[in-house]
Chains A and B, each alone.
Chain A
């Protein structure tokens, strides 16, 4: 482990006040000894930088997929007092409400045999993917405002999905407080033609099979069985969210003097939660988050249609298990020193993991906690977990969001050839379709920490409980 960091539990570490100047609270993160080998000093410094922000409550936290980002580390979680505290785009990231949803089908792996290539090609044709891909959907400026306020509900009302889907989304697919007036004309111009598109980078639509059930009771509650074919959608708010982040970062950066906020990193630009600039960022961010829920709803709809047409199954037999956001800031009620209080929780590359009985999770899941979806990297397992009471107590109800990278993209491109990887995965029965082979090299399995180790840590630390492991069968990527 790096110098200056204290071990305070089997999997828990503390970054003491003083690690960087002006820390107001200590930092805490969760990591196994094996994962500690890959911990970057820059990531710990970023965790410590977050601890300098005004009004931070208890700790600056990071999940075991912690790695070096900008502003907050990736895997970073922090809550801020609603009066003394701040809100920061650096705690959310450029891809507002990047998130994941998991959908079950009534099919087994055997049902796919022989037609998997065809399925992948049809999905690739149905969901616009990659740089420059535009949607076939046309939305007017007024409709775009409705998307930003109503999120996935807008999509369902337009015929993309059913009412039952909404109950199975975090925030029911539309968080409150969206203010389309805080979204610039530029953001609208970018977002209008991209609704229903997957994007590029690590975003994907993956066909999976439930390989192992670890917690039969929770699996029963979530409606998932071994051997079942599922699909997972991982994407965010596209150019609209990127522009909202860019615009408000500049506004907040310019307002730092006004609020006399001193920062160790300009990317942590922020303003008091209840200030004109803070409220405007929240309203714009919530608008982008809702756009992202609509986006994933539309993509799910297109994929459902492909499955229904190819395999003669009913649209309604493909059930949304859950949809989670992993880049977002929200106002939530939590226990603060023995009393319930509202705080502004930032999760940047971290997933909400509310435990049993927590407010805001679907009634049907109340007994086991919310579903948590951890996508694997290409070719490795993804996991379904459930939220826990321990997460509510230790991490503002948060857990990891993915595997976390260990190899830079430039090294990955030198060490991995996209075409070879595609052929190697095909030999393992995993079919990959991407707009270009080089995209594959950057997202190769070996550039990520092993997802099973990251998930093992959150399970053993009690931040969430493993319910099921899903293996990839085919993937489309941008």
Chain B
């Protein structure tokens, strides 16, 4: 559904909402890449991975950390995230484009995803989570 940046003095705090857990995770991925690179297009670069964790919050951190690893090593900027989440298992197909310094240099390098205040909550019609990205 959406993400918005909230005020945080040291780091980047994003509030992410999704109608389902799957949407929430996909939006969290979009939020992270928005912070790092700004606009992005799907130009056919694709990566797949699967993860399992003990709870949803850890799964979210592992999923975002995996994307962070791939972008750092392979210089891929992702913009779409097809996810299948069953319980605390996740299979992801992330699509995007190669990093282009001319178009992707306006963002902030993310060093890590913090557990601080990270709690997936069920609102009336959506799930929401606040994520602090260390930059």
Contact = CB atoms under 8 A, between A and B. Distances in A.
B54 A254 contact: yes
Contacts of B68: 242, 246
Given A70-B132, A406-B9, A408-B7, A478 B109 contact: yes
* B7, B72, B107: most-surrounded residue (chain A CB, <10 A): B72
7 smallest A-B Cβ distances: which pairs?
Answer: A94-B112, A70-B116, A70-B114, A266-B115, A200-B109, A94-B111, A436-B105
Interface string B38-64: 000000000000000010011001100
A74 B10 contact: yes
Contacts of A249: 112, 115
Given A68-B9, A190-B73, A253 B115 contact: yes
B108 interface: yes
Contacts of A40: 9
B134 interface: yes
A242 B73 contact: no
Contacts of A296: none
Given A201-B135, A405-B10, A436 B106 contact: yes
B104 A131 contact: yes
A236 B78 CA distance: 26
Contacts of B9: 40, 67-68, 405-408
Given A68-B9, A409-B12, A250 B112 contact: no
Contacts of B112: 94, 242, 245-246, 249
Contacts of A68: 8-10
Interface in A229-260: 239, 242-243, 245-246, 249-250, 253-254
Contact of B115 (A70, A201, A243, A409): A70
Given A70-B117, A406-B9, 5 more contacts: A190-B72, A249-B112, A409-B135, A410-B5, A438-B107
B37 interface: yes
Interface of B: 5-12, 36-37, 54, 57-58, 61-62, 65, 68-69, 72-73, 75, 99, 101, 104-109, 111-118, 132, 134-135
A132 B115 contact: no
Nearest to A418: B106
A266 B118 contact: yes
Given A70-B134, A405-B9, A405-B10, A435 B111 contact: no
B116 A267 contact: yes
A410 B73 contact: no
Contacts of A442: 108
A95 B111 contact: yes
A85 to B, nearest CB: 21
Contacts of B75: 132
Interface in A432-463: 435-436, 438-439, 442
A265 B112 CA distance: 16
Nearest to B112: A94
A134 to B, nearest CB: 8
A71 B114 contact: yes
Nearest to A184: B69
Contact of B58 (A67, A253, A435): A253
Contact of A69 (B6, B10, B65, B109): B10
Interface of A: 40, 67-71, 74, 93-95, 130-132, 186, 189-190, 199-201, 239, 242-243, 245-246, 249-250, 253-254, 265-267, 269, 405-411, 435-436, 438-439, 442, 478
A243 B108 CA distance: 17
B69 A265 contact: no
A53 to B, nearest CB: 15
A132 B108 contact: no
Given A132-B75, A267-B114, A408-B8, A200 B134 contact: no
A243 B11 CA distance: 18
Contacts of A439: 105-106, 108
27 contacts: A67-B10, A68-B9, A69-B10, A70-B11, A70-B115, A70-B134, A71-B116, A93-B134, A130-B101, A186-B69, A189-B69, A201-B111, A242-B68, A242-B112, A245-B112, A246-B65, A253-B58, A254-B54, A266-B57, A407-B9, A409-B11, A409-B12, A409-B135, A436-B106, A438-B107, A439-B106, A478-B109
A131 B58 contact: no
Nearest to A46: B116
A165 to B, nearest CB: 27
Contacts of B106: 436, 438-439
A422 to B, nearest CB: 14
B8 A242 contact: no
B132 A201 contact: no
Given A265-B116, A266-B118, A201 B108 contact: yes
A201 B112 CA distance: 13
* A69, A130, A405: most-surrounded residue (chain B CB, <10 A): A69
A318 to B, nearest CB: 28
Contacts of B101: 130, 132, 435
Contacts of B12: 409-410
A249 B5 CA distance: 25
* B6, B72, B111, B117: most-surrounded residue (chain A CB, <10 A): B111
B7 A411 contact: yes
Given A67-B9, A201-B109, A411-B7, A239 B115 contact: no
A199 B110 CA distance: 11
B38 to A, nearest CB: 8
Contacts of A265: 115-117
Contacts of B10: 67-69, 74, 405
A135 to B, nearest CB: 13
